[in-house]
Chains A and B, each alone.
Chain A
Amino acid sequence: LFSPNDVRALIECCRADLSGRSEAKLTPALGPCAIHHGLGGVALRSLLTTRELVSTEALEFKQLTFQTVAESMARAEELRTLTQILSDQRIAYIALKGPALAQVVYGSVAARSSCDLDILVRPESIPIADRLLQELGYVVEPEDTSQSGRYHVAYGHPKKTTLELHWRLNSQRERAPIEQTGIWNRTRGVWLGSLEIRTLGLEDTLLHSCVHGYKHRWTRLKWSADIAYLVRRAKGLDWDAVVARADIAGCRRMLLVGVNLARMLFDVSAPAEIVRLISRDNPAEIVSKQVCNALLERRLLNPREDLLFDLRGRERVGDHAILFAQTLQRIFRFTNQDERSFWLARAFRRPVRLYRTYGVSWVKPWLRMS
């Protein structure tokens, strides 16, 4: 639906929005491109800053992006309602990503779109939060068994947005337990309309955004734009603390890749110390270039590149070994489809399944018959 030129135009919109310049240009498929990358609001804001959009092409773009802006505002309203209910029940929570992040980073919930709401609660609060959500009509969605190590429960609602209730920030597969650095002691308030809600501290937001972007291979521009806006606009970001916590959580390289992408794509300047760390970290540079090329060419990584990408994101040898083992496990694990298409697998698995269910007793009738 859109070309590399549209991606470049979207990047220009973000740069113009970041610097307050008025050089953003409308390209034929900027609308679909901005929506795909979750930055419809930023593109609209950037183009509307100095002029009215009146041409037919511009009105189409406006109509498209208005829809995503409306969605984001409705989601923010839902987040307000939910966090109010949690506060009333004295459940400590942290609003992750989505509207809270958009408000902190872009100064507007409409600027950046999200697909769902994410709320982190302490593990011991999960049962009561679950009960409250079910009372509100939320229904637990089927468990996703493809991920190793669950860290959230997904809820659906017939009339509302999807919600993920987290008890950890990331899956164990990411090998980046940021919560171990004490995120609950550093939460900050952010105003959504007339209500102040709790979200991650600035440094933790930066780290979490980097890990999350890396997990999704930075395939949407919104993830690198989050870093760019945060680095440019957040006042009092304690970089020493960010690096120290990244080292504890084992995600320093993910942090460096995130900041490097913000520099490469959005011309954001980072502190000299961070730039020095990036220049010393060859894999971080390689991965950043790979991401930039993939974004412009709209190319997905093949399985080999994907594994390498995953390995390059980790700096600890132990994490490499675990990741490699997990990948092997994933490769050799039989899926339902494998079983359907490969009858021999079923034949091999059946005795094991019977043994697990009935022990050796299922063999006895056969022995008697023979």
Chain B
Amino acid sequence: MKPLARIEHIVVEDLGVEYVVYDSRSKMAHSLNSTASWVWQHCDGNTTIEEMADLLQGQSENADALDAVRQAVQQLRNADLLVEPTAAWASTEGGPQLTRRSVMAAGALAAPVVGSILAPTAASAKSNDDFEKDKDKDKDKDKAKDKDK
């Protein structure tokens, strides 16, 4: 099986050894730890899970690389970050523009983790001016309470 990373409606932010992937279609953000990021980076539609495991094995001291890659692929699929395995990888130009980095800074392989949240896009946040106004309101309320006392 040759997993392929989805690139449509996907924005990737590189945070050192981890990625945050934002899916504008589902409005979900996914936090990929170092192992999951590495696997996602290698989901190019040409590399099998076993080949990825071999590559990963060479870079870390952990013996369970195959298991880790399988877990990561499963989690990426659950997060809807992979396209169907039958789809062909159109061209390398269309693939995720990611930089290769040393994933295992500590030398040990971390269990892959893909954490997902619905990105809070609602107008929950306020502008700084609003914060200042709210502060003033709070002050006024406090003063009113003091007066009542």
Q: In the complex the two chains form, is B16's CB within 8 Å of A77's CB?
A: no
**Residues 38-81 of chain A: 1 if any B CB is under 8 Å from the residue's CB, otherwise 0?**
00010011111111101000000011001101110111111000
The answer to whether A74 and B16 touch across the interface, beta carbons within 8 angstroms, is no
Taking CB atoms, residues of chain A closer than 8 Å to B11 are 73, 76-77, 193
Flag if B125 contacts A162 (CB, 8 Å).
yes
Instruction: Let me know if B13 and A110 touch, CB within 8 A.
Output: yes
Q: Which of B22, B126, B129 contacts A70 (CB 8 A)?
A: B22
A-side contacts of B117, CB under 8 Å: 66-67, 70
B18 at the interface (CB under 8 A from A): yes
A49: B residues at CB distance < 8 A: 16-17
Taking CB atoms, residues of chain B closer than 8 Å to A67 are 117, 120
- Contact A66 B115, beta carbon cutoff 8 Å: yes
Q: Does A25 sit at the interface, judged by CB under 8 A?
A: no
Residues of chain B contacted by A193 (CB below 8 angstroms): 11
A202 proximal to B (CB < 8 A): no
- Does B1 lie at the interface of the complex (its beta carbon under 8 Å from any beta carbon of A)? no
- Chain B residue with Cβ nearest A66: B31
Say whether A329 faces chain B, with CB atoms less than 8 Å apart.
Answer: no
Q: Interface readout for B27-58 with A: 1 if CB under 8 Å, 0 if not? A: 10101011000000000000000000000000
Indicate if the CB atoms of B13 and A108 lie closer than 8 Å: yes
Whether B133 and A77, one on each chain, are in contact in the complex, defined by CB atoms closer than 8 angstroms, is no
Stretch at the interface among A124-132, A153-161, A174-182, A279-287: A153-161
Count of chain A residues with Cβ under 8 Å from any Cβ of B? 46
A77-B120 Cα distance, complex, nearest whole Å: 12
Given contacts A52-B34, A70-B22, contact A115 B15 (CB under 8 A): no
Task: For A47, list chain B residues within 8 Å (CB).
Answer: 16
Contact A337 B140 (CB under 8 A): yes
Interface presence of A361 (CB below 8 A) = no
- Please tell me if the beta carbons of A71 and B120 are within 8 angstroms of each other in the complex: yes
B15, B29, B105: the one contacting A74 at CB < 8 Å is: B29
Residue of B whose beta carbon sits closest to that of A51: B105
B115 contacts across to A, CB distance below 8 A: 63, 66
Q: Which residues of B contact A (CB under 8 A)?
A: 11, 13-18, 20, 22, 24, 27, 29, 31, 33-34, 105-106, 110, 115, 117, 119-123, 125-133, 140, 144, 147
Given contacts A48-B17, A193-B11, 13 further A-B contacts (CB under 8 A): A48-B15, A49-B16, A50-B105, A54-B110, A66-B31, A69-B13, A73-B20, A74-B120, A109-B13, A110-B13, A115-B130, A161-B125, A164-B127
A sample of 11 inter-chain contacts (CB < 8 A) reads A44-B15, A47-B16, A48-B15, A69-B29, A70-B119, A78-B121, A115-B130, A157-B123, A161-B122, A161-B125, A341-B147
